Amino acid sequence: MAVKKKSSWRSLMVLCFQDPDNIYSPKKTKKDDGERVITKQKSFLGLSILDISNPSSTTLSEDLSISLAGSDLHVFTQAELRVITQSFSSSNFLGEGGFGPVHKGFIDDKLRPGLKAQPVAVKLLDLDGLQGHREFMTEVMCLGKLKHPNLVKLIGYCCEEAHRLLVYEFMPRGSLESQLFRRCSLPLPWTTRLKIAYEAAKGLQFLHEAEKPVIYRDFKASNILLDSDYTAKLSDFGLAKDGPQGDDTHVSTRVMGTQGYAAPEYIMTGHLTAKSDVYSFGVVLLELLTGRKSVDIARSSRKETLVEWARPMLNDARKLGRIMDPRLEDQYSETGARKAATLAYQCLRYRPKTRPDISTVVSVLQDIKDYKDDIPIGIFTYTVPTKPRREVKETSLQNFDKPRRETKETSLQNFDKTRREVKETSLQNFDKPRNVSTTDNHQKFRAPAHTARNHRITLRNGYNSPMRNEAGGERY
């Protein structure tokens, strides 16, 4: 069996996102003399299939070093990464990513010259045949060449024997997904959510408007990482693809991504464009507005898919309040919420051409973020009182109770005074006829009984009862 000589190495950046769908099997042809020949097909990275599929090959590491010459990426050894992560201790375990476990580590400034001391996140890729190698190479090439404040920083990698590891800057706040949906997390304030949306859109804009445009293909809440200041950075570029070239309007590829975030036209046809990323951004923006997951099987079938449930209400100001996250109450202005909802609605349109491009999204979010009537961050703002808390409380209660006591005492005094006057007058009128001498005639003697009857009517019907006429007599 004769094997053609391996094709020469080409620039990785040119081909790092090209579609690998038709490169899995080497083509087999027959020579005229019947001898079978295996023609190695070039991978998306310009490497032969046999190179990529051989875990023990050192060619991959050598080619990466050549292509990334001049970059600031560090090539780590397995031994160094064991030191950094304390042998991948379970106490340093951060979580399970889409392509493998992630551990926290710390680079000591004595590890190697020129590498500053810093915390890091080390991702160990679960190599699943060609796909694992491909995603590793895509990640290294993308983050090795593209630098932006809203893209997570790749510090280095390890490509040793069958092991593939990536070393990133450590993001202490974790992912947007955990901040939004984890039960023990404090609810993100309105202004923080706008900040995250704006910065994530800026990262996406950088990819779409790069010299060689890149389609992210996996924009979702779990891939947006947050630093200590809640600065948003995009991570996990294993599924990234080159954008359409020349007169092409889209890239045809296998459907990959995450349920609930992928654009409908991409799912149905496999046609990928920058507008596919815009749709995914609209889903994340909707999660920020509602505080709900893109897909939540714990909810009823009508509310299980966030887009299907919320989209009809995004463009209706009267219904918008039904879908807004109740934890944001009194934190946002009506105008700001309406503008953000309208933007999400536009990003989630069915027809890709009717969606805004990412630069428009960034511009609109900038306006919303800078809207002056919006209420500032509430939960993260703390004002130090000028007096001790107990003293302030006692003073407030004293000031509150003082007028109440004064008002109450004045009212009781006036009320008692009136009652005494009325009672004395009534008793005087009642007692006066009884002082008449017994020598008076019978008519005068019966006056007290008649007066007592009037008094009973007065007590029964009230002092100013309508049962009494103007002359003080009885009404029947």
Which residues are marked as active site?
218
The token pair that represents 263 in the structure block: 């654009």
Cβ neighbours of 296 (radius 10 Å): 15
Place of tokens 């505080």: 291
What Cα–Cα distance (Å) separates residue 319 from each residue in 84, 212, 237, 325?
A: 52, 42, 37, 13
CA-CA-CA-CA dihedral for 220, 222, 223, 228, to nearest 10: 130
442-472 burial: b if 16+ Cβ within 10 Å, else e: eeeeeebeebeebeeebeeeeeeeeebeeee
Give the 3-state secondary structure of residue 117: coil
Query: Is residue 9 within 8 Å of 63, Cβ to Cβ?
Result: yes
Within 10 angstroms of residue 373's Cβ, the number of other Cβ atoms is: 9
CA distance 436 to 67: 130
CA–CA dist 200, 233 (Å, integer): 6
DSSP character string of 391-431: HHHHHHHHHHHHHHHHHHHHHHHHHHHHHHHHHHHHHHHHH
